[in-house]
Amino acid sequence: MVTLLIAIGSFILYLIAYHTYGKFLGKKIFGLDPNAEVPSVKFKDGIDYVPTKRNIIFGHHFTSLAGTGPIVGPALAVIWGWVPALLWVIFGSILIGAVHDFGALVVSLRNRGQTVGDVAGRVLAPRARLLFLSILFMALTIVLAIFGLVIASVFRMYPSAIFPCIIQIPIAIAIGTLIHKRGSNMLIPCILALLAMYLSVYFGNSGLLNSFNLALSKWSIITWVIVLLIYCYIASVLPVWTLLQPRDFINSLQLLSSIGLVMLGLIVAGIWGGQPTSDDARSHLEIIAPAARIGENAPEGAPWIFPFLFITIACGAISGFHCLVSSGTTSKQISCEKDAQFIGFGSMLTEGFLAVLVILACVAGLGLGTDFNGKTLVGEEAYMARYGSWGGAKGLASKIGAFVDGSANFLKALGISSAFAIALMGVFVASFAATTLDTACRLQRYVIQELASTMGSKNNLFKLFQNKHAATTLAVILAFSVAATPAPGADWSIQNAGKGGLNLWPLFGATNQLLAGLAFLVILFWMRRRKISLWFILIPAVFMLFLPGMAMIIELFREGGWIKKGNYLLVTFGIATLALEIWMIIEAVIAWPKVKGLIEEPIPDLTINSDAENEGGRSC
């Protein structure tokens, strides 16, 4: 019953936060204006700037920023106990994460839909633009290099997820065309799309579809990386309404409905117990993990809970990647400024609730029964098999497996078959990862174009990379170059190729959270120039600048850290990232006394494409 009360209590708390704190920020702090001219309307080009209904943008935004982060991070962090993880997710998402996402979205809306990195050069200091964009460039290269591996690994673990993920692409293109070109009502097509996706999961384990899935699951990692990067290129250069928007929207319907099923299963398991056995007996649902494992009870090999809990759980509490989605793609699609609260603040709270369910799946659902190394384990034994030591818990398969098994147990409490439940959760994880991958490629294209324009338009090379095709090609080639190398310590071979993102992955957690701190800096300066109250954002900004830097320094210099291990690639990237952070903070300290009440120079208007289509958008 405690598990159920936590789920219901957190859901109610998120609703209260949205209708109180979220509305306060939107009305009193940011002053959202339903009559304001938004970038999607003013600069409409039918490719990136596309005014869109808020429900579709919510789906695109939520699935793009969530990825596997709110699954993998919480599924590992419960190794320190369920209470610290739960508290950080709930209060972090409300007081820090949602404020960060909402603020980045509003600042971008008021600045022609530019990324936060681009805005930094105007509201903070000219050099800050190049510093910020450089950090974004490194972070997105890691994301593109690693998420192909993530998706390929999920497909190998859960082959039944392959066809349902592939079929989403033609369905999305059909729906995008119907809605954008013909102005069709989206309700019926989206319901049919959702039904088709669930049927693809149901039939994915039988007949020809099963053979198809098994054949593709045997592809090498590098083959999947190549295929996925080609897809990313296409998705990045196509008009956003063609594939990215509709795919993310129908994906969000599937994901949100799956979350609803998991919640319903949790309610049934919490009241009546887990899946009935042959004699109709049900296992009692209870939390099987310790409340906290710190000090003498800390898990073997685990780093300190502070600051690493706050780095391990990024998405689900606060993630710097979100500022890229808010300011990179979403701000170019919002057709009414007042929608920013629903999309920016609301999406983060939805992701926070997802992270709560992940925690409960790993510390309670797992106890209803899990297969581990050929044995069926229940209760505390099931938790300790996954979380007995840091080395055993930190692998991708272990984290994803803990969530899939735990959440599938909730579904099985509803009478859903084990095969369908596990397949559905496998599709859930793979779909989230795929939406992050294609959005990250589009964001990297924006960053490369902005970097090229910063370096100068007279140089032919820099001028070339202001073109979307050249910029996307560079993004894909760089990601492939990193991914194509083997994992740390592995020999060069076709089977090992594709895992190169793991070489830099240990840096990603701290870099990701550092992005959040730097985005807070930009929001702070934008607000200070307008004499807007800063009390609610100052402490989160300092917190998110201090923690990632501290974690990175510990990883660099601790016994067994990157320097001691001789991992010079990580050392180089780590020191470079720290240097960029320190440099940007110095720029901020110098500029802070000078900017209060001083509005930055107006941003130049874009050249509006007169051939762009004029359909779409809505009034407030």
* pLDDT one-digit tens code per residue, 383-424: 998 898 888 777 777 888 899 999 999 999 999 999 899 999
Q: What is the CA radius of gyration of the chain?
A: 23
Domain hosting 347: range is 2-595
Residue 538 belongs to a domain: yes
Cis peptide before 70 (omega within 30 of 0): no
Burial label for 61, CB within 10 Å (0-12, 13-18, 19+), is buried
Instruction: Tell me if 47 sits within 8 A of 335, measured CB to CB.
Output: no
What domain count does the chain have? 1
Query: Which range among 64-68, 295-299, 373-377 has the greatest average pLDDT?
Result: 295-299
Please say if the pLDDT value at position 20 is more than 80. yes
| Strands 375-377 and 370-372, bridge-based pairing | antiparallel
The predicted pLDDT at position 611 comes to 40
Instruction: Tell me if 308 sits within 8 A of 301, measured CB to CB.
Output: no
The predicted pLDDT at position 606 comes to 57
Which ranges constitute the DSSP H helices of 413-534?
418-455, 460-464, 468-484, 501-529
* pLDDT one-digit tens code per residue, 109-121: 999 998 888 898 8
CB within 8 A of 517, min separation 6: which ones?
A: 320, 541, 543, 544, 545, 546, 547, 548, 581
Q: How confident is the model at residue 615 (pLDDT cuts 50, 70, 90)?
A: very low
Residue 616 belongs to a domain: no
The predicted pLDDT at position 399 comes to 85
CB within 8 A of 271, min separation 6: which ones?
A: 1, 4
Note the Cα 433 to chain centre separation in Å.
Answer: 8
Residue that wins the pLDDT comparison between 192 and 90:
90
Report DSSP state, residue 370: E
Q: How confident is the model at residue 446 (pLDDT cuts 50, 70, 90)?
A: confident
For residue 375, the cross-strand partners are: 372
Residue 342 belongs to a domain: yes
Share of the chain above pLDDT 70, in %: 95
Report DSSP state, residue 333: T
CA-CA distance, 349 to 94, in Å (whole number)? 7
CA-CA distance, 563 to 60, in Å (whole number)? 40
The predicted pLDDT at position 617 comes to 43
User: In sequence order, what DSSP letters do the residues of 17-62 get, joined into one string?
Assistant: HIIIIIHHIIIIIS---TTSPPHHHHT--SSS---B-HHHHHHHHH
CA-CA-CA-CA dihedral for 172, 73, 555, 448, to nearest 10: 20
Quick one: which H or E segment has residue 9?
A: helix 2-17
Mean pLDDT of the chain: 87
Average pLDDT rounded to a whole number, residues 186-209: 83
3-class secondary structure per residue, 273-313: CCCCCCCCCCCCCCCCCCCCCCHHHCCECCCCHHHHHHHHC
The predicted pLDDT at position 14 comes to 98
Please say if the pLDDT value at position 186 is more than 50. yes
Query: Which range among 83-87, 154-158, 160-164, 584-588 has the greatest average pLDDT?
Result: 83-87
Instruction: Tell me if 591 sits within 8 A of 120, measured CB to CB.
Output: no
Residue 68 belongs to a domain: yes
Neighbour count for residue 506 (Cβ, 10 Å): 17
* pLDDT one-digit tens code per residue, 462-503: 788 888 999 999 999 999 998 888 877 778 877 778 887 777
Q: How confident is the model at residue 34 (pLDDT cuts 50, 70, 90)?
A: very high
Residue 413 belongs to a domain: yes
Angle between helices 346-363 and 69-77 (to 10 degrees): 40
Please say if the pLDDT value at position 87 is more than 90. yes
Residue 612 belongs to a domain: no
The predicted pLDDT at position 279 comes to 67
* pLDDT one-digit tens code per residue, 534-554: 988 999 999 999 998 999 999
Please say if the pLDDT value at position 230 is more than 90. yes
371: phi then psi, degrees, rounded to nearest 5: -85, 125
Angle between helices 501-529 and 98-109 (to 10 degrees): 60
Q: How confident is the model at residue 457 (pLDDT cuts 50, 70, 90)?
A: low
The predicted pLDDT at position 110 comes to 93
Neighbour count for residue 30 (Cβ, 10 Å): 22
Instruction: Tell me if 101 sits within 8 A of 345, measured CB to CB.
Output: yes
* pLDDT one-digit tens code per residue, 581-595: 888 899 899 999 999
The predicted pLDDT at position 609 comes to 43
CA-CA distance, 581 to 125, in Å (whole number)? 14
Residue 620 belongs to a domain: no
Angle between helices 418-455 and 69-77 (to 10 degrees): 110
| CATH number of the domain where residue 132 is located | 1.20.1740.10
Residue 382 belongs to a domain: yes
CA-CA distance, 146 to 479, in Å (whole number)? 9
